[in-house]
Amino acid sequence: MRRIILPLLLFLVAGALSAQSYQIHNLRFIPPEYYVGDTVEMSFLLKTDQAVNLKVPEIFPTPGWIRFLSMDIEPRGVDYQISIRLIPYYPGTRALPPLESGDLILNDLKIFTSSILDSGASRELSEIRSPLLIPGTRAVGALIVSLLLSLPIILIFLFKVIRSRTGKIIRTYKLNLPYRQFQRLIRRIRRTMVNMPEKDFYLSFTGGLKKYLSTRFHQDLTSSTTSEIEALLIRSHIHETLALSLVNLFNRVDRVKFAGDKLLYSDREQLLGEVEDVSLALEEWRKKHADL
Amino acid sequence: MSENKNLTDKMKDASMLLDIARKEIAKRIIGQADMVNGLLMGIITGGHILVEGVPGLAKTQMVKAVADVLNADFKRIQFTPDLLPADLTGTMIYRPQTGEFVPRKGPVFSNIILADEINRAPSKVQAALLEAMAESQVTIGDNTYRLAEPFFVMATQNPIEQEGTYQLPEAQLDRFIMKLKVDYPNPQEELAILNQLDKRDDQVLRKVFTKYSIQDLKDLAASIRVDESIKKYIVSIVNASRVKGRNQLPFTRFIEFGASPRASIALFECARVNALFENREFVLPEDVKAVAYNVLRHRIVLSYEAESEELSSDDVIRDILSIVTVP
């Protein structure tokens, strides 16, 4: 009798040890609803009565209707956070095959795999559905559509900005053009004045200066005399010194052109230097006083 | 150098002389400085002046004052419709004592003549005076007589009351070196006229000029330098008045006939005298512009388009001057 009772007792103790109890909490599926063939992550918190040692099975069971991809076990004090990644191939509720995870065998885990077929409906073919979109597709689409819709406005805005900027650049270019042309003329005169007859020198000099001043005072000065230019300069309220310098230049040149005064080569050089200074001062004045 | 020095001195003397003359004339004539300058300019250039202005602007007083400071004879001829050429130039009169015809010289034999309201006399009288002006001589009977030196005519025209007048033909107008326009004095001048009313007639003017000093001024004006570019400028102005292409220049449609070469000569001479007035030994474009209105005013014949737009010769001259490039 003793020979029978002892093995039976040992068997029951062993059975009791192997059938340790555990509870599953916070069971979650990502995604919450999944279909046949979807990759699903099943996670839960495993609580046990006693301390157990859990480990990932070396070989996952292969029942055919499900494929285990991976399993993570993360201790949380005496509990364990377990994540199992799997792909179900059968719709409906099914229990997972037992998973030997160290001291415990997880054998009461169930999953529900949704079916795209409505079980209550007829077996006829469903209507064609639009393809499933990956998350964010709609947002990106909306963004693209709004961009496309706002594109004309953006283009118009850009066009206006570019036009305004280009206009400003062109205006500035045109505004400064007479000064640059006059400077070029002065440089050309300086290069060629060695062989230039005296009268030609002064004619081209005053011609260029009058043309330049015409653009600055918005009045054709080619038909104006020195006294008329003087009156214009006084009316324009430019600085008195500047006006006097300009009038003085014209008066000196008038004496050469009409009174037959002789001026040396160095005088010509000096005259060109003076007119460069005066025109530069006039440009600075103009930039400060836009109404000039 | 010494010649230049002499010229400078002469210019100073002339300037002083002219200033004194102006001051003397101003004792009797208040304001009208432009007119006084115009008269002096006419005398120095040896030309004659046509004056247009309403009555009562002291035109006669002015020319009398000028005659006084010039120490010259003065005659005033009132042109009327019944005036005959002989009333102007003179005629042969019969002398019973000797039984021969002797010349009796008319008022034209004077240094300074005021031909008042010249457009009221018939054209043959006008022609007689204008011939005397052009040739500085008058023929009476078989004899030709030189006119006095200096010989200066100031003819006046009244711009109003055109009824029964004989407009001077363009060809005869051209003989006047300048046409001056006299305007009303400003209120200050008019007040000064009233204030001087009592003593004005008693004012005896100093005789500033002599026959020789006038000739000196003429010689001095002739010695003033006129650069080639100024001559070209004068020609450009006169030529601009003759452009016929209606699209070439904006003002051409307002001109029926442009100025004659006599206008170029007048511009040249008057510009020189203007330089003399400015005490300058050379002519500037300013001088040409300063005299252009007076010289060209009566030489440009306006078209009906100008009349329809109520433009005057001065408006057209202003357009011409604004388009011709100054050297």
- Tell me: the pLDDT tens digits for B28-79? 888 788 888 898 899 899 889 998 888 777 788 888 888 888 888 888 888 8
Pull the structure tokens for residue A49: 């009565």
Residue B200: per-residue pLDDT = 53
Note whether A107 and A202 are same-domain residues.
Answer: no
Q: So what's the ipTM on this one? A: 0.79
Note whether A179 and A99 are same-domain residues.
Answer: no
**Is the CB of residue B128 less than 8 Å from the CB of residue B106?**
no
pLDDT band at A152 (very low <50, low <70, confident <90, very high): very high
Note whether A171 and A104 are same-domain residues.
Answer: no
Reply yes or no on whether the pLDDT at A217 is more than 50.
yes
**Torsion sign across C-alpha atoms B39, B42, B46, B52:** negative
Minimal C-alpha gap between A205 and chain B (Å): 11
- What would you report as the CA-atom Rg of chain A, rounded to the nearest whole angstrom? 49
pLDDT band at A216 (very low <50, low <70, confident <90, very high): confident
Q: What is the mean pLDDT of residues B306-323?
A: 88
Chain A, nearest residue to B231 by Cα: A258
**What's the domain count of chain A?**
2
Partner residue opposite A225 with nearest CB, options B281, B286, B323: B286
Note whether A204 and A90 are same-domain residues.
Answer: no
Residue A123 lies in a domain: no
CB atoms within 10 A of CB B143: 9
From chain A, the residues in CB contact with B322 under 8 A are 220, 223
The rounded distance, in Å, linking the Cα atoms of B269 and B278 is 14
Residue A9: per-residue pLDDT = 52
Nearest-10 crossing angle of helices A198-217, A265-288: 0
Residue B230: per-residue pLDDT = 93
Partner-chain contact A222 B326, CB within 8 Å: yes
From chain A, the residues in CB contact with B327 under 8 A are 203, 257
CB-based burial label for B288 (10 Å; 0-12, 13-18, 19+): buried
Residue A219 lies in a domain: yes
From chain B, the residues in CB contact with A259 under 8 A are 225, 281-282
Domain boundary among A113, A148, A179: A113
Q: How many beta-carbon contacts under 8 Å exist across A and B?
A: 42
Reply yes or no on whether the pLDDT at B324 is more than 80.
yes
Residue A229 lies in a domain: yes
Partner-chain contact A258 B325, CB within 8 Å: no
Summarize pLDDT for B178-232 with one digit per residue, the tens. Answer: 999 888 888 888 888 888 776 655 577 788 777 667 888 888 899 999 999 999 9
Partner-chain contact A257 B327, CB within 8 Å: yes
Partner-chain contact B227 A223, CB within 8 Å: no
Residue A14 lies in a domain: no
Residue B306: per-residue pLDDT = 84
Residue ranges of domains in chain B, CATH in brackets: 1-191 (3.40.50.300), 224-323 (1.10.8.80)
Residue A10 lies in a domain: no
User: Where in the sequence is the domain holding A38, given as residue range(s)?
Assistant: 21-113
Residue A171 lies in a domain: yes
Higher pLDDT residue, B277 or B165? Answer: B277
Summarize pLDDT for B290-305 with one digit per residue, the tens. Answer: 999 999 989 888 888 8
Residue A271 lies in a domain: yes
Residue A292: per-residue pLDDT = 46
Output the domain CATH number for residue A43.
2.60.40
Minimal C-alpha gap between A222 and chain B (Å): 5
Note whether A105 and A175 are same-domain residues.
Answer: no
Lowest mean pLDDT among A38-47, A220-229, B61-70: B61-70
Higher pLDDT residue, A130 or A18? Answer: A130
Residue B4: per-residue pLDDT = 54
The pTM of the full predicted model, rounded to 2 decimals, is 0.70
